[in-house]
Amino acid sequence: MSFRNLPLAIDHERDKSTLFTPEIRAAIDKHIAKYPSEWRQSAVMPALTLVQDANGGWLTQALMDDIAVYLDMPPMSVYEVATFYGMYDLEPQGRHKVCVCNSISCMLQGSEELIEHVEHKYGVKPGETTADGRFTLKEVECLGACRDAPAVLLDKTYHEKLSPDALDKLIDDLE
């Protein structure tokens, strides 16, 4: 059999106990424990998520390097993961993320109006953050909530069957 997938297992010879906070280390360790011991790298996705959440919603290169040390991975492999998946952000973000689904079922139910409405009212294009730093607007692909279209993921919560007015109310309530 030609295909082989072995763990990368790089020893960075750095003290892992100084990385992040004890709470984040404990949370990452809980994920590491789910996988065979030689596959620490399996925790890279939850680790990126935890570290990103604790850093105002985005990842710096220094943070990714620390994750590489913590999980015995080459830094490049962590960058690859962080750039491949849509939920990781490598630039500063607004205090909130407003993710509007633009896939087929939501488009048929008016997601374009939602996006245009937010663009005009708040002066942001998808990918941009409002001048006051309140939120970053994102266009995302199907959220798996198509029966409740149009769907919006606001930070960690789904909001469904939204009209422009209803979305406004949600945005007005953001800090």
Stretch that binds other proteins, among 13-21, 56-64, 114-122, 151-159 (CB under 8 A): 151-159
Mask of contacts with ligand FES, 88-127, x by CB under 6 A?
-------------x-xxxx---------------------
What phi, psi does 154 have (nearest 5°)?
A: -105, 110
Part of the chain binding other proteins (CB under 8 A), chosen from 18-26, 129-137, 146-154, 167-175: 146-154
Draw the binding track, 58-77, toward other proteins (x: CB under 8 A; -: no contact): -------------x-x---x
**Which of other proteins, ligand FES, none has residue 27 at its interface (CB below 5 to 8 Å by kind)?**
none
Compute the least distance from the CB of residue 4 to ligand FES, in Å: 37
For residue 127, the minimal CB distance to ligand FES (Å) is: 18
Nearest to 19, CA basis, from 51, 60, 45: 51
Which one of 12-20, 116-124, 135-143, 163-171 is the stretch in contact with other proteins (CB under 8 A)?
135-143
Q: What end-to-end distance do the CA atoms of the chain give, in Å?
A: 56
What HEC string does the chain produce?
CCCCCCCCCCCCCCCHHHCCCHHHHHHHHHHHCCCCCCCHHHHHHHHHHHHHHHCCCCCCHHHHHHHHHHCCCCHHHHHHHHHHCCCCCCCCCCCEEEEEECCHHHHHCCHHHHHHHHHHHHCCCCCCECCCCCEEEEEECCCCCHHHCCCEEECCEEECCCCHHHHHHHHHCCC
Contact between 36 and other proteins per CB under 8 A: yes
Size of the site for other proteins (CB under 8 A): 50
Residue ranges that bind other proteins, judged by CB under 8 A: 1, 3-7, 34-36, 39, 41-46, 48-49, 71, 73, 77, 80-81, 84-88, 99, 102-105, 107-109, 140-149, 153, 156-158
